[in-house]
Amino acid sequence: MPHKPLKPCLYPGCTKTVPSGYCQAHAHFYTPPARAVDNRPSAAARGYGKRWQAIRNEVLCRSGIPRELWHLYDIHHEPPYNPAIEPNHRAYKLTPMLHRDHSRETMRSRGRGGKSLGNMLETGKAKGNIYSSKMEAGGQNGR
């Protein structure tokens, strides 16, 4: 079975080759990447305490998701949860979503990373309706 080719040591000027990173002589120069620091208040302080867990369980049970898969799901609030405006979770439309989909939707709604309309308007990339301009230029169905 073929092996990956060896790479030069990351220490400037070192001529030794290694599978990755630093050679043994320069291993002490390796610094692990810094972890992100979460400065937010606790989940309970943000409105996700014991009562929220009971509501979450009700939503997941009502949706028919098997209990052994509940750890894969987050509950999406529509509109986005804001305890300063409305602290009662039951006042929101609550929908179970897979964690990755919920994260993507949250980022999009907050205008980070995704192509949200708000983000496009701020950057000036949304100039009118794409489909209407295609219709004007090409006719039926934008062709």
Task: Tell me how far apart the alpha carbons of residues 108 and 14 are, in angstroms, rounded to a whole number.
Answer: 45
* 102 contacts 76 by C-beta, under 8 angstroms: yes
Tell me what the mean pLDDT of segment 80-90 comes to. 90
Q: Is the dihedral of CA 52, 58, 63, 66 positive or negative?
A: positive
For the entire predicted model, the pTM comes to 0.55
Tell which wins on pLDDT, 2 or 125.
2
Give a yes or no: residue 72 inside a domain: yes
Mapped onto helix, strand or coil, the DSSP state of residue 133 is helix
Determine the pLDDT at residue 110.
82
Give a yes or no: residue 93 inside a domain: yes
Indicate if the pLDDT at residue 136 is higher than 80: no
Give a yes or no: residue 44 inside a domain: no
Give a yes or no: residue 41 inside a domain: no
Supply the range of the domain harboring residue 87.
50-142
* pLDDT band at residue 129 under the 50/70/90 scheme: very low
Phi, psi at 94, each rounded to 5°: -110, 125
